[in-house]
A and B are shown apart, each in its own frame.
Chain A
């Protein structure tokens, strides 16, 4: 392993300016991706996983802002780059593919033109050469008769084909890092299988790192080397993929894995995580999962748990793994007996 990671995100805070208030959505996200490694960021909707990827790309909406933290790419801090500098990196060193292949391609240009555009942008080559490159890329991602397909418009292709085009476009300049934001969510399972397969094989060919964002743990198990589990804008668990599935640590991760109906198992009732994600304007001060956690103690509501290494390459952000856990539990029991009717502060709306 070289002296620094391909991508290293440190203590990232991102929020949105809404009229007069500023709402912080991402609250101290840390992770790193090594060269040639695939990291999956997993979580339910609204957990901030897409925002993380947009921050890395420097594509936050105008009202969004990185308030704290660093995004180190090849050791350089991307948060300090200007839009112009970022535009040289985007599409070239870091590429991205999106969830909706239906709408992510410009409907009025041919796919060939759209691929050629990125090539011409970053490599000073002629239009003709760029077009040839587009054909090559289409061939590479497994699109039949690419010579004709370069002249197709996006709407003439199926969803799977379009996602292949997106991949071709993303890989056209041999990026070091590919960010894939829910690339298969909109696709049917049989097509999803094809795309995941393609990505796995291309990753090896291109020797790049991948950050894959998904809500589907099945997909995670297919492609990931490392997994980052996020909940309500915070990292709750960060682990090696095997370790995560074999031995999930954080109550949220556990709940998530259990609540998926399994093909191989028979259950009458699914284990569930009660409640719903708290509103970003009304987050608990402490652990954000506390409102839904079966083990929650008063401390959990008030103090943010640190990311604790529970085993090698496996960290979880939960007081249960702290040395103080027994104390905390005792305190909690004492508190509960004092105030029988203590109500949690779960907000009504989401």
Chain B
């Protein structure tokens, strides 16, 4: 798949080319290696511009989280390039990678699991600041407390343990941790999914605020379309390891082109009691990523599938200005 060749009026901060991440399944026996793989991410390409928020949406198991980790090199990609500011970071050595961590950060879903329970918030944040020598030692405390303030916490929370915080507060700590190294890009992996609605709104607002304040770029991964739509400038839809549609958010929400995207939107219950719209109900379940359908991966559930869909893998191509779809029917 060819890379994006869009004329760059704005600088591309990150560019992904043909990214693949396969996980081997089972070990096989001693004598032969098993050749089955879970193709968690299969040939995905996109770019992220400086200062924008790219939303990635998809159902569980579609590979969106794996993609986030692969971009960050937390999991080494099986194939493909990850260009950050023009450099292919998938070829980076451990030392370069550590340096890179200053530029790309991640916020995880689970506000309980992603904090070390045995460390105070302050110790955790200071450690990172110290390792990357962000500020001189003497200013460490002030710096970290300012960070805490930035994310809406109290400077005194410096001495607290994670278990003393509520879910929302913990997520704020996670955000502070990501911010501590003054990154350029933050990957938010289901960052608000575990939160209650009222807290989720607080955190979303915070993320928006910080983005403006520090001129951040986000890749926002979530299964919640409303949230993604709210926060993103552009949105990509993933299905079984593939990007099926990618466009700016108005394009994708107003005129979804891929049948899967359409079904996805149609499935969201509306928070209102307007007359119920006609639903596009998908049949069956998402196939196992262990053995993905031939041709278009969506053809098993697609109400419009044709013979061609079963045979040929549809190309991910631009249909309108900045709107890309992988579907034979568009």
Contact = CB atoms under 8 A, between A and B. Distances in A.
A123 interface: no
A260 B285 contact: no
A96 B53 CA distance: 42
Contacts of B208: 268-269
Given A256-B197, A349-B164, A263 B268 contact: yes
Contacts of B25: none
B197 A188 contact: no
A44 B199 CA distance: 10
Contact of A217 (B166, B169, B265, B271): B271
A326 interface: no
B196 A263 contact: no
A158 B164 CA distance: 36
A193 B285 CA distance: 12
A259 B264 contact: no
B114 interface: no
- Most B CB contacts (10 A, CB to CB) among A189, A262, A269 go to A189
A193 B267 contact: yes
Contacts of A61: none
Given A261-B230, A263-B253, A276-B166, A191 B201 contact: no
B251 interface: no
Interface string B159-174: 0000011101100000
Contacts of B225: 189, 263
Contacts of B265: 263
A261 B165 CA distance: 25
B201 A270 contact: yes
A43 to B, nearest CB: 9
A218 B59 contact: no
B229 interface: yes
Contacts of A190: 59, 263-264, 267, 282
**Chain B: number of interface residues, binned into ranges:** 35 or more
**Chain A: number of interface residues, binned into ranges:** 35 or more
A222 interface: yes
Nearest to B202: A272
A270 to B, nearest CB: 4
Contacts of A262: 226, 230, 271
Contacts of B210: none
Q: Please report whether the interface of chain B is mostly helix, strand, loop or mixed according to DSSP.
A: helix
B160 to A, nearest CB: 9
Nearest to B266: A193
A259 B200 contact: yes
B164 A261 contact: no
B199 A276 contact: yes
Contact of B285 (A160, A217, A259): A160
Interface in A167-198: 188-194, 196-197
Contacts of A107: none
Contact of A216 (B164, B269, B286): B269
B229 A191 contact: no
Interface string A237-281: 000011001100000000111011111100111111110100000
A261 B285 contact: no
Interface of B: 59-60, 164-166, 168-169, 196-202, 204-205, 208, 223, 225-227, 229-231, 253, 263-273, 276, 279, 281-282, 285-286
**Nearest 10 A-B pairs (CB), nearest first?**
A218-B269, A261-B230, A259-B201, A350-B166, A193-B267, A188-B59, A44-B196, A273-B198, A270-B201, A158-B285
13 contacts: A44-B198, A158-B285, A189-B223, A189-B225, A194-B281, A222-B269, A259-B198, A260-B271, A261-B204, A262-B271, A270-B205, A272-B202, A350-B165
